[in-house]
């Protein structure tokens, strides 16, 4: 059943992406309206354009990401750290693990990787890239352990659960927007993890002029997609757990 959910989610993912869905709906509705100018089609077309304009020109996604990121701040000092768990993703996460690893010399680093693609010839591609980066940074590879069979966040935490680190002090590194969902899943597995966030997306420019100068439609759409994906992930996990 888990495999079925995984394959369905990956097949439907492009269509469930809100901006993909809106643009596709826009094209279909234009074609239908061109062939058959019914009022109901025109109303649907107007509604679609309205929603697309809202998320394009207003920082809705940015406000959503602020909600996801607002409760997490990194500590200046972490006491008695034994493990550092890194969820695969951006290089920011790897660099943060090296930074913490160099600061806390007795810690072990567990890199949780894998591939979310349905068709992928090399499932260890992310892990190979991570290994290369750790080596280029001259980090002690005896302290790094790579786990590379997980395909999504839930499977990541199933792998973490197998490490038997419940009774040891562990720091979790992931992107700020992804931390809320990660901590919810960690709590479900009974894992007590200290959050360490990287790659914050929220805009703290302050004044209206600064926000105007930073205005970017593609970023607004990308942030909305990111927020939507995280919220859907949280809702689906809560409903299924």
Q: Which pLDDT band, with edges at 50, 70 and 90, does 202 fall under?
A: confident
Question: Which of 84-88, 110-114, 140-144, 200-204 is predicted with the least confidence, judged by mean pLDDT?
Answer: 200-204
Alpha-carbon separation of residue 10 from 13, 39, 121 (angstroms): 5, 35, 17
Mean model confidence pLDDT for the chain = 85
Range of the domain at 47: 2-69+218-240
Residue 44 lies in a domain: yes
CATH code of the domain covering residue 115: 3.40.50.620
CA distance 174 to 129: 17
Q: Where are the beta strands (DSSP E) in the chain?
A: 83-87, 108-112, 144-147, 170-175, 193-198
Question: Do 87 and 192 belong together in one domain?
Answer: yes
* Tally of domains within the chain: 2
Q: What would the pLDDT profile of 109-120 be if each residue is shown by its tens digit?
A: 999 986 666 555
Q: What would the pLDDT profile of 135-158 be if each residue is shown by its tens digit?
A: 999 999 999 999 877 777 888 888
Length of the chain (residues): 241
Question: Do 91 and 188 belong together in one domain?
Answer: yes
């Amino acid at each position: 059943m888990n495999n079925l959910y995984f394959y369905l989610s990956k097949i439907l993912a492009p269509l469930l992406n809100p901006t993909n869905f809106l643009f596709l709906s826009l094209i279909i509705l234009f074609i239908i309206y061109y062939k058959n100018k019914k009022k109901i089609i025109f109303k649907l077309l107007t509604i679609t354009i309205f929603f697309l304009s809202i998320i394009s020109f207003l920082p809705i996604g940015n406000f959503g990401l602020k909600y996801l990121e607002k409760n997490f701040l990194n500590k200046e000092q972490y006491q008695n750290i034994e493990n550092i768990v890194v969820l695969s993703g951006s290089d920011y996460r790897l660099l943060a693990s090296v930074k913490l690893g160099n600061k806390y010399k007795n810690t072990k680093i567990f890199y949780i990787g894998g591939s979310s693609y349905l068709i992928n010839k090399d499932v260890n591609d992310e892990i190979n890239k991570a290994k290369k980066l750790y080596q280029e940074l001259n980090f002690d590879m005896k302290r790094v352990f790579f786990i590379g069979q997980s395909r999504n966040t839930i499977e990541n935490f199933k792998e973490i659960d197998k490490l038997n680190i419940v009774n040891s002090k562990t720091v979790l590194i992931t992107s700020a927007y992804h931390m809320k969902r990660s901590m919810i899943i960690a709590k479900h597995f009974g894992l007590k993890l200290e959050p360490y966030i990287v790659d914050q997306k929220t805009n703290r420019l302050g004044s209206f002029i600064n926000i105007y100068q930073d205005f970017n439609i593609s970023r607004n759409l990308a942030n909305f997609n990111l927020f939507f994906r995280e919220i859907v992930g949280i809702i689906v996990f809560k409903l299924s757990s």
